[in-house]
Structure 1
Amino acid sequence: MVSDQKTEENSAPKIELTHEELKKILCVQQAPDERYVDDEIDLAELWQGLMRYKVLIIGLTMVVTVVAAIVSMKMTPKYESTVLMAPVSSEGASSGLLAQYGGLASMAGISLPSGSGGVSQAEEAQAILMSYRFLSEYIKEKALKPVLFYEQWSMDKQDWISKKEGILAGIKLSLLGQPSKADFEYQGQEVLADGEPSMAESVRVFKQLLSISEEGKTGLIRLKIAWINPVQARIWANELVQRVDDELRQKAILESQDIIEYMQKKLPSIELQDLRMIALSMIEEQVKKITFAEVNKEYVFKVIDPAIVAEKPVSPKKGLIVAVGFILGLMLSVFVALILNWRKNKLELK
């Protein structure tokens, strides 16, 4: 019996595992549980760390939110006035004749004007409205520098507030010296009073107030001006539209008068009867163009909805500023709390 048991023990297979293989098996079995436990511990410690500094988080968030609210209250409100207008087409027949009979006229030795070159009056008007020449003339005529730069203008003295030179300006002046009068005149710059902003700066500020947009589907054009004074914004918006309309009307009248005068001088030298008829037709079309420009008060733009005095400001958006301040304050306070908690844990480990 004993011998049979020994035979069975000897015949049973023996499984031998090395120490490394056993370690791998144990790691595979225990790794997931340990990982989840570690994650739970880390999240718990993180939450405990934040709760440890909850007073700091709440306080700092409230401070940043209140500061954002105060800043939004201190910001100067701006009111927006809008002019809605539609382009007026007034260039059809005369430009068509120029294109149709230009070749025949050149054969007869008559050099006809080339027209607008594919640019409509509405597009030209929009370009003029944003041009330096147009805006600088308007600012100068209306004396808008003290209005645009009201913080630099003394209402009591009716003069510009002198600027105090800083340390850097003094160092620059001592190193480079005072610019000579010849250099100043050579640069072609305007002569400014002490503290007065330049016309280039005035135009730059005015362009920031002015915006022109065109609706793609309807072709309607919106001119907007945003300013701290709603009455002034309405006046500027309506005046700019009327001003550019008058300018292009006068330009069209002068161009038509020049064409009529030119064609009348050339008529005696035209021998072909057909070309004489063409010249007379062109003169007739230019007369119609002059009549159209003089009769119609709205030559380039037909004003559909003029600017009115806005009742509510478009900026600042106080609710948005406060919301952004709250989010930034919360993020900042959580970040500070995490840093403080990390430093405290590091000191405890030492």
Structure 2
Amino acid sequence: MESSVSSETTTTNKRDLVYLIALMWREKWLILAITFVFAVTSVVVALSIPNTYTAQAKLAPAADSEGGGLAALAGQFGGLASLAGVNLGGNSKEDKVMIALETLKSRKFSRYFIEKYDILVPLMAVEKWDLATGNLVYNTKLYDPKTQQWVREVEPPYTPEPSFWEAHKSFNSRLNAKQDEMTQLVTISFEHESPELAKQWVDWMIQEVNELIRVADIEESEASIAYLEKKLRETELTTMRQVLYQLIETEQQKAMLANVRDDYVLKPIDPAIVPQEKSGPNRPLICFVITLLGGILALVVVVLKDIIWPRKST
């Protein structure tokens, strides 16, 4: 009984497959026509997408010269330093790298970076980069380069000029900053229609994130020194005064190292260069996917047509 049912099912499946193949052959011109339309469309779409270029830099965590001395001092006077209100250990080299990477991705940094270098227009309004002239071509539906005014038509709460919320999303979608867990090397890359801007912005980002953390550490050390000097004036205990003197000396060393080191957190070992090859779009893949979707749609159309308007058998 079961063998009979299984045999009938197999026969039915074979019959359906044969019918489907026959249907596809009968409607081959319709299938080819729909697929051809999608193939042509895919080429038009792929060619309409401008080239983008990715500049990349590899960096190593800067050597933590004061780490050993601070660790030894923290072990000896860590408790007293905490009572004095001073973070003797500070941030380790690994912590500073993590802070640098998270700073690069933050809304605060992107806003600061966009405002300082006035890059909102090239970030948000570029249509393509002219390879022959090396000039940017702007999307005139978004920005009028003649009047230098934003002209895009948007619904509230958006305005013709992009908000920093929009700018941050665009900035972060082009930025890639990560650290290799095995080598500890940091890679920072940025994608843009202009290879020259992509390279320039990577350089600026490395410079700015180093400077922001360096200045923050200097300010922290100066505040700690001022606080320790105040405590020094208030205490009469010889032992405590000796500890405070050593803490002040340590903070002065930290501030001195921060002042003389430009590559404070991230040191380039393979600086960014102007890329000569595009990183996107992947036009063959775009054409393949759209053409494949066209072929699938053509098969669906043929099957639905046969279901709705079945062919009368002769």
TM-score by length of structure 2 reads: 0.83
Worse overlay, 232-241 or 111-120: 111-120
How far does residue 104 in structure 1 lie from its aligned partner after superposition? Answer: 3.1
Counterpart for residue 348 of structure 1 = 312
Determine which of 280, 289, 310 is the counterpart of 1:315: 280
Determine which of 166, 184, 187 is the counterpart of 1:201: 166
* Secondary structure of the corresponding residue to residue 302 of structure 1: strand
Write the distance in 1 (CA, Å) between the matches of 2:273 and 2:39.
Answer: 35
- Residues 246-261 of structure 1: pairs in structure 2 closer than 5 A: 246-261=211-226
How far does residue 94 in structure 1 lie from its aligned partner after superposition? Answer: 3.3
- Residues 187-266 of structure 1: pairs in structure 2 closer than 5 A: 195-266=160-231
How far does residue 200 in structure 1 lie from its aligned partner after superposition? Answer: 2.1
Gaps of 5+ in 1: 1-26, 170-188
- Residues 153-172 of structure 1: pairs in structure 2 closer than 5 A: 153-161=143-151, 163=153
Counterpart for residue 79 of structure 2 = 103
* Secondary structure of the corresponding residue to residue 348 of structure 1: coil
Counterpart for residue 24 of structure 2 = 50
- Residues 1-350 of structure 1: pairs in structure 2 closer than 5 A: 38-90=12-64, 92=67, 93-94=69-70, 97-98=73-74, 100-105=76-81, 110-113=84-87, 116=90, 120-150=95-125, 151=139, 152-161=142-151, 163=153, 195-345=160-310, 348=312
Larger Rg: 1
Kept after mapping to 1: 8 A contact 2:217/2:258? yes
Kept after mapping to 2: 8 A contact 1:98/1:113? no
Kept after mapping to 2: 8 A contact 1:270/1:276? yes
Kept after mapping to 1: 8 A contact 2:39/2:291? yes
Worse overlay, 47-56 or 32-41: 32-41
Kept after mapping to 2: 8 A contact 1:215/1:221? yes
Write the distance in 1 (CA, Å) between the matches of 2:105 and 2:206.
Answer: 12
Q: What number of residue pairs does the alignment pair up?
A: 296
Gaps of 5+ in 2: 126-138
TM-score by length of structure 1 reads: 0.75
Worse overlay, 113-122 or 319-328: 113-122
* Secondary structure of the corresponding residue to residue 315 of structure 1: coil
Structure (1 or 2) with the greater helix fraction = 1
In structure 1, what residue type is equivalent to 2:298?
S
How far does residue 29 in structure 1 lie from its aligned partner after superposition? Answer: 9.7
Kept after mapping to 1: 8 A contact 2:53/2:275? yes
